[in-house]
Chain A
Amino acid sequence: MDIFRLALLTVPLCNGTAIAQSSTNIFAPAATPANSIFELSMLVLGVTLAIFLIVAGLLLYAIIRYRHKPEDSDQEPAQIYGSNQIEVSWTVIPILIVVMLFLSTTRVILGTQAIPKPGNALDVTVIGHQFWWEYRYPKLGVITANELHIPVSDPANPVPTYLTMSSADVAHSFWVPRLAGKTDVIPNRVNTMWMDPSQPGLYLGQCAQYCGTQHAKMLLRVYADSPAQFDAWISQQKKPAVDQSTGNTAASEGQTVFMQNACINCHAISGTAATGRFGPDLTHLASRDTIASGAIPNTAENLRAWIDNPNTMKPGSLMPPMHLNSHDLDVITAYLTQLR
């Protein structure tokens, strides 16, 4: 199995190690669901490869061995119309293969979908939007966006994360290949999935159901944190926003400008007048590595350009250009970069 795994990691011949460490390779599972799919894939690939070699081999043999040669007589070859025994044999053998594949597949389906949820699982609610991801931790009182933090799950004492998912608008799909198969995120429907990353790290993915213009940039970032890191992150996220109203800094002016503009209709910053839920929660915006759902690195420069006109970076994004003057843009950016 391990040799197989290694071989497949290098299957994309070009780009060698970059691919081998590709963070979205389905053959580099890092959690149980992805792993059981991986093992099933190996079986299925093996069976289909064997079938291919046999049938293609016979085909190749037939067209070479039985090719018409110029020195052949003009006589037609013997006309064979069929054989019941042969038909039966190549019906029965495929049926047996199908039964075997079916049973193996059913085992994985049941093992992923039909197992009971452990009591200590972490619950996260995922809400898909055009074109960003909302995450809520209902039992922990945290609402955030675009970067999902979950605890690493020690196989000896598993703490899986259970996602309960729905959409606020159109159909999306949550796909982080190294952790699990994808599950669609559909309005007026609640889907669930689970994952239990065994190694800390950043796992990437993206929306996998065409959802409109910026489907391509609705990226996923799942941070598997050690228990300590996760607890620290949660307690940070629970805090209300850093209040900038006192003092005479650019940030405090930015906070005022923010609260006086239409920003508050779409965005929420806890502890302030901004309570909009249409767009991502910004309470701890500065704690994130990226903005625009993973598409843009979170730097002051990018943030300013984004607020000025999102369409220059993610055309078709549902955030309109805010038509702020340059000074307002500066101070708002200064404010938002303080929201750790």
Chain B
Amino acid sequence: MSATTQLPGINETLSAHEGRPPISIVYEWLTTVDHKKIGLMYIGFALIFLVVGGIEAILMRIQLAVPNNHFVAPQVFNQLFTMHGTTMIFFVAMPVLFGWGNYLVPLMIGARDMAFPRLNAFSFWVSAFAGFLLYFSYFGASGLYGAGSAPDVGWFAYAPLTSRVFSPGHSTDYWTLSIFLSGVGSIGTAVNFVSTIICMRCKGMKMSRMPLLVWLYLVTSAMVFVTISPLTAAQIMLTLDRYLGSHFFDTQAGGSAVLWMHFFWIFGHPEVYILILPSFAFINEIVPVFSRKAMFGYPAMVAASVGIGFISLSVWAHHMFTVGMTAAANTFFVFATMVISVPTGIKIFNWLATIWGGKVIFATPMIFCIGFLFQFLIAGLTGIMLSAAPFTWQLGNSYFVVAHFHYVIVGGILFALFAAFYYWYPKVTGKMMSETLGKWHFWLFVIGFHLTFDFMHIPGLLGMPRRIYTYEASRGWGTLNLIVSIGAIFQAAATLVFVYNLIRSYYKGKDAGHDPWDAWTLEWSTTSPPPHYNFATLPTVYSRRPLWDIKHPDDPDSDFE
């Protein structure tokens, strides 16, 4: 095998911090343009907001656990669901996924950094400021009833509820401005991803040899350009309405409330694909390694990912089936939404085929992937149910929809994220996370997840709409809501176990070495953690799994290209 060249390993890297005054370490992180540090800051920021958003969820679940509850006032509840949704989408999911991409993409393509390191840092700090701005609303804005001042218009802020007339004060403006800024950060990061992936791959890494994770971040970033922009445009329009008296969504002047819905959902639907595609990316990297088999159907996976990206831009009005569109329009969006299930299904089948005939190792990253596979399957199937417009005529805006999208986001995206944490934590820190704590985390979370989100479908079927701060006892929703609320507690406990594992393993975890999982992509060829220049010499690759080729010189992938 290879003789190691002299690179600073973990001890040297750590000792670089010893003896330095804390302020200089803080300064280093505040001014860094290193993609790895920026990625970690995104992730850390997202984890903080995950806890905040989770607390908001728990408060709501306590209020809804029994009928006619008085735990929080209606105004507070309405702020809670607005802040919870906005936080989770814009200040947890987007940053954490972009953070992991930031960390991994240059390493996986054999580059030293992103294409535009300063833009990278700028994008992060703008996003961080945006998160701060949203929460500053609790202090700074003056709400409608003086009872707290965070925005309370729902995360999709339908017009004309958001007009000055119906939402006086500044709470809505904090929503608008913070998301606008977050969008600026997202577009900046996406520019970086695309430029890096197209322009900075190492020698020999043709597009057809890129890891699937890199493909998925490429597609995701391309989607960001045409997805975030409509929301940015709509928010400019909303702000012009609120401050310059324009009439974009002013129904009294002939403006259209439905126009806001179109613009928002032209953003809002592809946005959820922007969130799921990086989650697919993690599954694509982790499942083959723990099945000890190459990904089945790489070209099909690329085609399916690109297909999902394109089709997702055409399905948005399935969020508007109840708005009174014509039968022709409804029918079109039914068709487009159903069609997107085909490439999505292809991905699930290819994952299945990867596992089939392999040697499955149930390490913590893999069990989270397995959870993802079952749960994402179910989530996709409830999505197919909802794609039948008449079904949505009953269940749109009900707890069935809330259950469906949480199934995707928590059961899918969050599980894939947990898998990513356990898988790449050794690379980032040089330490292994505890498998025991990992399994506790997994099982506690699975129990809580299913208690909450399986049962949550039922009140929807029984007529419970969303965004209500309480409900009548006679509706028969009480017991179900109580079960849903209890599940939240399990998930909170599991998350605490996870955070504890993250922190404890940094100090007490086993040394990981370069390649603890016996994996095949370039990030595992450098030290754990990588030096700030990533690689001593930039690699040349001849196949999709460069490290497989090195470990199996008798049977390299390059023979099969």
Contacts and interface: CB of A to CB of B under 8 A. Distances in A.
B470 interface: yes
A98 B342 contact: yes
Given A79-B557, A212-B166, 14 more contacts: A14-B479, A22-B476, A24-B475, A41-B391, A52-B381, A67-B359, A68-B359, A90-B346, A105-B388, A109-B390, A170-B160, A186-B257, A189-B257, A208-B465
Interface in B136-190: 144-145, 152-154, 158-161, 166
A307 interface: no
Interface in B221-265: 251-252, 254-258
B75 A68 contact: no
Contacts of B555: 79
Interface string B372-406: 01100110011011011111111111100000000
Q: How many of chain A's residues touch chain B, expressed as a range?
A: 35 or more
B411 to A, nearest CB: 13
A87 to B, nearest CB: 5
A62 B257 contact: no
Given A76-B292, A170-B158, A188-B256, A105 B389 contact: yes
B251 A187 contact: yes
A25 to B, nearest CB: 5
A266 to B, nearest CB: 17
A106 B463 contact: no
B370 interface: yes
Instruction: Assign chain B's interface to a size class.
Output: 35 or more
Contacts of A102: 334-335, 338
B322 interface: yes
B296 A81 contact: yes
Nearest to B361: A68
A36 B388 CA distance: 12
B356 A215 contact: no
Interface string A50-91: 011001101100110011100010001111111100110011
Contacts of A175: 397, 463, 465
A34 B381 contact: no
B349 to A, nearest CB: 5
Interface stretch (B202-210, B323-331, B524-532): B323-331
A95 B391 contact: no
B348 interface: yes
Nearest to A61: B356
Nearest to A82: B297
Tell me which of B255, B346, B360 has the highest count of chain A C-beta atoms within 10 A of its own C-beta: B360
A67 B391 contact: no
Interface string A1-26: 00000000001101100110011111
Nearest to B303: A87
A322 to B, nearest CB: 18
A24 B74 contact: no
B341 interface: yes
Contacts of B298: 81-82
Interface stretch (A177-185, A270-278, A298-306, A330-338): A177-185
B468 interface: yes
A101 interface: yes
A209 B158 contact: yes
Contact of A52 (B160, B300, B378, B396): B378
Nearest to A316: B74
Interface string B335-374: 1001101100110111011011111111000000010011
24 contacts: A14-B483, A26-B394, A26-B462, A41-B390, A44-B384, A59-B370, A77-B293, A78-B357, A82-B300, A94-B345, A95-B342, A105-B334, A105-B389, A108-B388, A173-B465, A181-B393, A183-B324, A183-B393, A205-B463, A207-B465, A210-B78, A210-B467, A216-B74, A219-B472
Interface of A: 11-12, 14-15, 18-19, 22-27, 34, 36-37, 40-41, 44-45, 48, 51-52, 55-56, 58-59, 62-63, 66-68, 72, 76-83, 86-87, 90-91, 94-95, 98, 101-102, 104-106, 108-110, 112-114, 130, 169-171, 173, 175, 177, 180-184, 186-189, 191-192, 204-217, 219, 315-316
B166 A169 contact: yes
Nearest to A178: B463
Nearest to B323: A184
Main secondary structure on B side of the interface with A = helix
A139 to B, nearest CB: 23
A276 to B, nearest CB: 19
B384 A182 contact: no
A275 to B, nearest CB: 22
B461 A11 contact: yes
A159 B478 CA distance: 36
Contact of B374 (A11, A27, A37, A59): A59
A171 B342 contact: no
Contacts of A173: 322, 397, 465
Given A26-B394, A208-B397, A212-B161, A91 B342 contact: yes
B362 A67 contact: yes
B283 interface: no
A105 B330 CA distance: 10
A14 B480 contact: yes
